[in-house]
Amino acid sequence: MPRAKPRTWRGAALAKELPVARVLVDKGVLHLDRYFDYAVPEELDAEAQPGVRVRVRFGAGRGRVRDGRREGGGLIDGFLVERVAETDYSGPLAALAQVVSPEPVLSEELLGLARAVADRYAGSLADVLQLAVPPRSARAEQRPSPAPLPPPAVPESGSWARYEHGGAFLEALASGGAPRAVWNALPGGEWGEEIARAVGATLASGRGALVVVPDGRAVARVDAALTSLLGEGRHAVLTADAGPEKRYREWLAVRRGAVRAVVGTRAAMFAPVKDLGLVVLWDDGDDSHSEPHAPQPHAREVLLLRAAQDKCGFLLGSWSCTVEAAQLVESGWARPLVASREQVRGAAPLVRTVGDGDLARDEAARAARLPTLAWQAVRDGLRQGPVLVQVPRRGYVPRMACANCRAPARCRHCAGPLEGQEGAGALRCGWCGQEDAAWHCPECGGFRLRAQVVGARRTAEELGRAFPAVPVRTSGREHVLDTVPGAPALVVSTPGAEPVAEGGYAAALLLDGWAMLGRPDLRAGEDALRRWIAAAALVRPQGAGGTVVVVAEPTLRPVQALVRWDPVGHAVRELSERAELGFPPVSRMAAVSGPPEGVAAFLGAVELPGEAEVLGPVPLPVTVARGAARRVGAPPPGEQWERALIRVPPGRGAALAAALKAAQAARMARGGAGGEVAVRVRVDPPDIG
């Protein structure tokens, strides 16, 4: 059937009741982040209900807000938000041109969540809804959704019994409660089954559940666990990789209430689950949870907003622990869900370290770039099964640190990271730009600095030559393996791409620790520990001979946390130090980047809260590759950009976001006539040094 041609309905009779429709147009610009009033023709009265997609005439010729009658505007998409009896606009209103579909895709709950996310990240509501509501597929809308299944029986606690209060957590969900927990998962492959049991307990109470994981491999694991535990038809899978029709069909089944549970990647964080009783996020430190499109929300923050809005349960799980997770526990908002030290020691492998002193005394390490202990671990492990070798991704930029104690070199004025300057002896702060020609380490008093060098590039080839009779498999960006057999083999992987071995790995070798610890990033240590623990969690327990060798200085805090298998203790200490220095997540930060004249003009115009502190601006590295230009916040190739950081104390994040949004909206409104240089604003930037 051909699509109806949109019409302006001039002179047509209007709806007798509630003849005014408030529409959110699909224009993701801040100065148009408001509702526009349109008249509802009588012929569209039945279909023009709140939540449906519509088309309206909108464009440069409209002139004033809510005046949809002027000539020259084009037809664009939008959402009908509400119907009202009258408008406060004094002029004539244009009529709705078309109801695209009678399917109400925008509920009041989803609209409220999208508004909260837009406000938190200084973004537009339209941009958030582009992330929240998938593109329409007419064929998917025409297919009826299956009938909802009755609630399942309450599942047994299973491996949750290994955790203190694990059984009580499931009982609270099954009885209709809303427990909030930060879960430090034990090593091994049971985490997918444990999430499935939490979802099953929630469904048994007659409520819905939402699970967000970092990637497709994790989705497949939870999907299989849910199917095994609850059977077919009780959950939907939502990922960005699914085709448009399939994704929209699954999304509609959730919105219509036919399916009460969802598992997916970042794209699923806005899933419209009915009667939401539990939100689950696995591995919140993975950068895949950070949305690259405006306004760049993080899945953890979106699910926190959902837990508060829907008064539902919350479960944040990981093998490791982020500083944000530790803050949730310290504030009392969530309870810790951990195993006893005896359980941890029984499940974790033996971790051994190789530091700089060992490498200096090791002739084999100087010749082959691998220490003797690592070779022995690989050799012994291959007698029992596969061995995992983790190699950091190439391209990590080193930061400056004390050559004696490895403490990061930080600015004495703002505690930002100090960086070396080409051709200059003085260090410069990457935040505020001030130079420090007389730096000394506050920890040990040393004056010497070191910059870490990226590790070995041909690890797989070298290991293949050293063990010619053993197959070598690689897993990385080009090709990621899901699983490997339990037979002896060398598996060389980049962080995050480690496949699961049948029966667990006999050993793991974590190479070039300084390449990860030396990143110019506030969370470099936390991220290195998270990646190490994620790899080590795939190794057999110490009682079964599992051994992990990490090539990094043993005295460093992340290395010590790995040896003790204590990511929670590491996160708690990091949180305490960040509170003293005014670092996120205790404080809130925003980044303003762009050409120097644009950044200066923005900082001069924005009305920041009185407690705000502006750090910088400082130059950003000039990019040369097109791939770098596509990264979020990266300047176009060859252009010199600057970045300023704005910091506010706890409790003032909403005021900062409102001020940034107002200033950016004012600049955009003037941009068409004044040609002002555009800048990029990001709340909670992930790479603040």
Mean pLDDT of the chain: 86
Domain at 588-683, CATH class: alpha beta
Asked if domains 349-396+453-564 and 588-683 share a fold, the reply is no
Confidence category of residue 629, pLDDT binned at 50, 70, 90: very low
| Average pLDDT score over residue span 125-145 | 93
User: Each residue of 75-114: pLDDT tens digit?
Assistant: 899 999 999 998 888 778 889 999 999 999 999 999 999 9
* Domain 158-342: assigned CATH number: 3.40.50.300
Quote the CA–CA distance of 338 and 165 in Å, as a whole number. 8
Given the DSSP bridges, would you call strands 500-501 and 483-484 parallel, antiparallel or unpaired? parallel
Instruction: Indicate whether 519 pLDDT > 80.
Output: no
Confidence band for 421, pLDDT divided at 50, 70 and 90: low
Contacts of residue 549, Cβ cutoff 8 Å, sequence gap at least 6? 351, 352, 353, 354, 373, 374, 377, 507, 508, 509, 510
Q: Summarize pLDDT for 180-233 with one digit per residue, the tens.
A: 999 999 998 789 999 999 999 999 999 999 999 999 999 999 999 999 999 999
CB under 8 Å to 262, separation ≥6 — which residues? 208, 209, 210, 211, 235, 236, 237, 238, 254, 268, 271, 273
| Ranges 35-44, 431-440, 470-479, most confident | 35-44
Does the pLDDT of residue 477 top 90, yes or no?
no
Distances (CA, A) of 264 to 252, 278, 499, 623: 15, 14, 19, 34
Rounded CA-CA distance 257/253 in Å is 6
Enter the CATH code of domain 349-396+453-564.
Answer: 3.40.50.300
Domain edges within the chain: 1-104, 158-342, 349-396+453-564, 588-683
Quote the tokens at residue 120: 């938190």
Taking a C-beta distance cutoff of 8 angstroms, is the pair 404, 446 a contact?
yes
